[in-house]
């Protein structure tokens, strides 16, 4: 599963249309598009379930970051210079002879020592795109229980896996690992959501409150856990917890335009905070970056909710 044969096979069908289509499929797995999806769910579909999907995204991102750093396997472009890179950086040294020979074999120490000494194409396993797309869309299908969502989830997962291999950034083993992790996360979160009835509009009980406060356990590990992922997850959960406790059960206004404007407002506050932190050059790790992200995203959701509430985007 860690040979470039399948990458070459997929690239043999190369065409301008196929490249643009698969590039767009991969773009759907970027953080910008995933956050936009979550914001749309929160602001236009179902506020509570949108927050739950945000939790799937946040925790999945952290699991994937940890797994990538633990394995640190090379990407195909770091091993095989004959692959089409489509503009991505690739190696000038042919290491294909050092790839695993058996289908289920893993990389040996020799090739890992070489690839880990460079910055080209590291952290290939598991595929973050496939893992998060699987976790998010299977999680959405399990939450909303619509047949068309299962078909959409299946299509996006398969298309994302193919796109990542076609673009030369992942092996088959990477996407299989990503699919396994994403599926496991989706099923685990679905079990938790149903076990403590998180999707209901009833007042929060102690178990539900604990769920929203659970990400706080990440704060002491600020030296090794990315501030953006952890801070965003904690911030949104703190704001949601306060909103649910103070205003109880509420639903989105039925008006299409009010829901549309609600998404714009939540998105404006979220991405405004996101780009503000970048402009201020807030670091990726550390206690201050962690606290800055928590404060920013707590404020983003809370202030956007108050704005929507004053505009009657919500009803009780």
Shared domain for 45 and 110, answered yes or no, is yes
**d(Cα 49, Cα 88) in Å, to the nearest integer?**
37
Mean pLDDT over 16-34 rounds to: 95
Shared domain for 228 and 216, answered yes or no, is yes
Show which of 200, 228, 256 is a domain's final residue: 200
Mean pLDDT over 307-311 rounds to: 97
pLDDT at 6: 96
Share of the chain above pLDDT 70, in %: 100
pLDDT higher than threshold 90 for residue 203: no
**d(Cα 196, Cα 224) in Å, to the nearest integer?**
30
Backbone angles phi, psi at 80, to 5 degrees: -115, 105
Shared domain for 234 and 127, answered yes or no, is no
The confidence band for 25, taking pLDDT boundaries of 50, 70 and 90, is very high
- Residue 125 gets which letter from DSSP? S
> Which residues lie across from 181 on neighbouring strands?
none
pLDDT higher than threshold 90 for residue 267: yes
pLDDT higher than threshold 90 for residue 76: yes
Shared domain for 173 and 312, answered yes or no, is no
pLDDT in tens, 150-162: 999 999 999 999 9
Shared domain for 155 and 207, answered yes or no, is no
Mean pLDDT over 37-44 rounds to: 97
> Which residues lie across from 239 on neighbouring strands?
none
Judged on CB neighbours under 10 Å (0-12, 13-18, 19+), 232 is buried
Shared domain for 79 and 189, answered yes or no, is yes
Show which of 179, 200, 221 is a domain's final residue: 200
Shared domain for 69 and 36, answered yes or no, is yes
The confidence band for 276, taking pLDDT boundaries of 50, 70 and 90, is very high
pLDDT higher than threshold 90 for residue 202: no
Shared domain for 213 and 146, answered yes or no, is no
pLDDT at 59: 98
pLDDT at 316: 87
Share of the chain above pLDDT 90, in %: 93
Taking residue 12's Cβ as centre, other Cβ atoms within 10 Å add up to: 7
pLDDT at 248: 85
Shared domain for 190 and 264, answered yes or no, is no
Q: Which ranges of 72-215 would DSSP assign to H, the alpha helix?
A: 109-115, 128-144, 147-166, 172-195, 206-213
pLDDT in tens, 208-240: 999 999 999 999 999 999 999 999 999 999 999
Whole domain around residue 130: which residue ranges? 1-200
Shared domain for 160 and 59, answered yes or no, is yes
Show which of 183, 200, 217 is a domain's final residue: 200
pLDDT at 201: 80
pLDDT higher than threshold 90 for residue 2: yes
| Whole-number average pLDDT of the chain | 96
Taking residue 197's Cβ as centre, other Cβ atoms within 10 Å add up to: 11
Give me the number of domains the chain comprises. Answer: 2
Mean pLDDT over 76-103 rounds to: 93
Shared domain for 235 and 196, answered yes or no, is no
Shared domain for 111 and 29, answered yes or no, is yes
Enter the pTM of the model: 0.95
């Amino acid at each position: 599963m860690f040979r470039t044969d399948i990458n070459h096979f997929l690239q043999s069908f190369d065409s301008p249309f196929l490249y643009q289509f698969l590039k767009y499929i991969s773009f759907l797995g970027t953080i910008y598009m995933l956050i936009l999806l979550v914001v749309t769910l929160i602001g236009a579909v179902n506020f509570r379930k949108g927050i739950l999907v945000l939790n799937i995204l946040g925790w999945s991102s952290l699991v994937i970051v940890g797994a990538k750093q633990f394995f640190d396997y090379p990407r195909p472009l770091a091993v095989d210079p004959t692959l089409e890179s489509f503009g991505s950086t690739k190696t000038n040294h042919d290491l294909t002879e050092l790839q695993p020979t058996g289908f289920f074999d893993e990389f040996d120490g020799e090739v890992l020592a070489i690839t880990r000494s460079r910055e080209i194409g590291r952290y290939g396993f598991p595929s973050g795109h496939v893992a998060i797309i699987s976790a998010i869309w299977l999680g959405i299908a399990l939450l909303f229980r619509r047949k068309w969502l299962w078909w959409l989830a299946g299509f996006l997962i398969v298309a994302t896996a193919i796109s990542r291999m076609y673009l030369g950034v992942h092996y088959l083993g990477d996407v299989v690992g990503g699919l396994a992790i994403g599926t496991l996360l989706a099923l685990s979160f679905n079990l938790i959501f149903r076990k403590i009835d998180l999707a209901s509009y009833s007042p929060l009980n102690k178990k539900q409150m604990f769920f929203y406060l659970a990400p706080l356990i990440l704060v002491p590990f600020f030296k090794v856990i990315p501030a953006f992922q952890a801070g965003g997850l904690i911030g949104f959960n703190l704001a949601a917890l306060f909103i649910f406790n103070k205003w109880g059960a509420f639903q989105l206004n039925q008006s299409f335009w009010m829901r549309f404007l609600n998404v714009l407002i939540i998105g404006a506050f979220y991405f405004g905070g996101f780009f503000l932190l970048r402009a201020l050059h807030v670091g990726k790790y550390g206690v201050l970056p962690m606290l800055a992200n928590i404060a920013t995203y707590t404020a983003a959701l809370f202030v956007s909710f108050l704005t929507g509430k004053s505009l009657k985007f919500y009803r009780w």
